[in-house]
Amino acid sequence: MARKWTQVVLAVAAVSLSGCYTARYYTDSQQVGTHHEEGADFFLWGLVGEKEVNLDAICPQGVSRWYNQATFLNGFLQFITLGIYAPRTIVVECSGGKAYRMTPEVKDKLFAEAGKSIEGGRE
């Protein structure tokens, strides 16, 4: 009887501790443009690690919302590594326009294209 009770407690604990979660942050912008998704690596049940996301570089037109979530795959990876590795998924939704990964090369290319269109309009 004690063995069966232990199995029930372990099953309930496993199910209750294996849930997914999402933390969402909204802005006043109602338009939802494109979205950008990237992973973040954390360790020791998410207690160790840091991820910075430059929202201005990803969404030059502004951010509609962004959220951090533990998907089923993230939870599965955390489970099989016994919490040593705890990945998360970060999603950024832009308020209209495109989502960019603003690297110096992309920035130079965008400014060059904008300069050509401005110069072309003056002629």
Averaged confidence pLDDT in the chain: 76
63-96 confidence digits (pLDDT tens): 888 888 888 888 889 889 988 999 999 888 888 7
Distance CA 28, CA 120 (A): 36
Distance CA 75, CA 77 (A): 5
Question: Which amino acid, 119?
Answer: E
pTM of this prediction? 0.57
4-28 confidence digits (pLDDT tens): 888 877 766 665 555 565 666 666 6
H helices, E strands: number in the chain: 4, 4
User: What is the structure's pLDDT at 20?
Assistant: 61
What are the structure tokens assigned to 26, written together?
């909204």
Q: Say if CB 85 and CB 44 are below 8 A apart.
A: no
Indicate the pLDDT class of residue 123, thresholds 50, 70 and 90: very low
